[in-house]
Structure 1
Amino acid sequence: MGRKNKSYSKDLHQQAYERLTGMQAFGESKKEAVANGTERDKIFSFNTYQTYWKHTKYFIQYIRENHPECTTLKSAKKYVNEWLNVRVEQGLSAWTIQTEAKALGKLYGIQPDDDNYFKPPKRNRADIKRSRGDRVRDRHFSKTNNDELIKFCKGTGLRRSELASLKGADLITKTEIEDKISKIESIPEDKRSPFEERQLEILKDTRLFDEEYFTHIRNGKGGRERISPIVGKNAEQIIERMKNTPKNEKVWQFVNKNADIHSYRADYATAIYKAHAREIKDIPYDRVNRGTGKRFQSEVYTCRKDEAGKKLDKIAMFVCSKALGHNRISVVADNYIRGL
Structure 2
Amino acid sequence: MGKWAKKRAKNTIKDEIYNRLSKLFKAGNGRSRNVDKRNGVDREYIYSSKTYKTYHNECKRFAVWCRKTHPEVRHLKECKKYVNEYLTYQISSGKSPWTLTTQKAALAKLYGVDYASFIATPPRERSKIKRSRNKVSRDINISAETEKFLSTITSATGLRRNELCKITGDSLRYDSSGRPFLHITRGTKGGKIRDAIIMGATQEETDYVVSLFKSAGKMKLLPKISSAYDNHRYRAEYAKRLYQRFARNIDDIPKKERIYLRKDRKGEILRL
- Residue in structure 2 matched with residue 159 of structure 1 by the alignment: 160
TM-score of the superposition, structure 2-length normalised? 0.89
- Residue in structure 2 matched with residue 63 of structure 1 by the alignment: 66
Q: CA deviation at 1:312?
A: 1.1
Which amino acid in structure 1 is aligned with residue 256 of structure 2? S
- Residue in structure 2 matched with residue 305 of structure 1 by the alignment: 263
- Residue in structure 1 matched with residue 90 of structure 2 by the alignment: 87
Contact 1:213 1:230 (C-alpha < 8 Å) held by counterparts: yes
Q: Distance in 2 between matches of 1:304 and 1:262?
A: 23
Q: Partner of 1:146: helix, strand, or coil? A: helix
Q: Does 1:119 align with 2:90?
A: no
Contact 2:138 2:228 (C-alpha < 8 Å) held by counterparts: yes
Distance 1:9 1:51, change over 3 A: closer
Q: Distance in 2 between matches of 1:60 and 1:308?
A: 41
- Residue in structure 1 matched with residue 105 of structure 2 by the alignment: 102
- Residue in structure 2 matched with residue 213 of structure 1 by the alignment: 180
Contact 1:216 1:228 (C-alpha < 8 Å) held by counterparts: yes
Q: CA deviation at 1:173?
A: 1.9
- Residue in structure 2 matched with residue 74 of structure 1 by the alignment: 77
Q: Distance in 1 between matches of 2:49 and 2:220?
A: 21
**1:120-269 map, 5 Å:** 120-174=121-175, 212-219=179-186, 220-232=188-200, 233=202, 234-247=205-218, 249-269=219-239
Q: CA deviation at 1:57?
A: 0.5
- Residue in structure 2 matched with residue 19 of structure 1 by the alignment: 20
* Count of matched residue pairs: 259
Q: CA deviation at 1:119?
A: 0.8
Q: Partner of 1:23: helix, strand, or coil? A: helix
Which blocks of at least 5 consecutive residues in structure 1 are unaligned? 1-6, 176-209, 285-296, 316-340
Q: Partner of 1:132: helix, strand, or coil? A: coil
Q: Distance in 2 between matches of 1:101 and 1:138?
A: 30
Q: Distance in 2 between matches of 1:34 and 1:242?
A: 34
Distance 1:135 1:298, change over 3 A: farther
Q: CA deviation at 1:99?
A: 0.8
Q: Distance in 2 between matches of 1:257 and 1:21?
A: 27
Distance 1:211 1:121, change over 3 A: farther
Contact 1:26 1:46 (C-alpha < 8 Å) held by counterparts: no
RMSD between superposed Cα atoms in Å = 2.0
Contact 2:104 2:115 (C-alpha < 8 Å) held by counterparts: no
State the 4+ residue runs in structure 1 displaced beyond 6 angstroms: 7-10
Q: Distance in 1 between matches of 2:197 and 2:164?
A: 14
Contact 2:169 2:220 (C-alpha < 8 Å) held by counterparts: yes
Q: Quick check: which one's helix share is greater?
A: 2
Q: CA deviation at 1:89?
A: 1.5
Q: Which deviates the most, 134-143 or 165-174?
A: 134-143
Q: CA deviation at 1:211?
A: 6.1
Q: Does 1:283 align with 2:253?
A: yes
Which amino acid in structure 2 is aligned with residue 165 of structure 1? K
TM-score of the superposition, structure 1-length normalised? 0.72
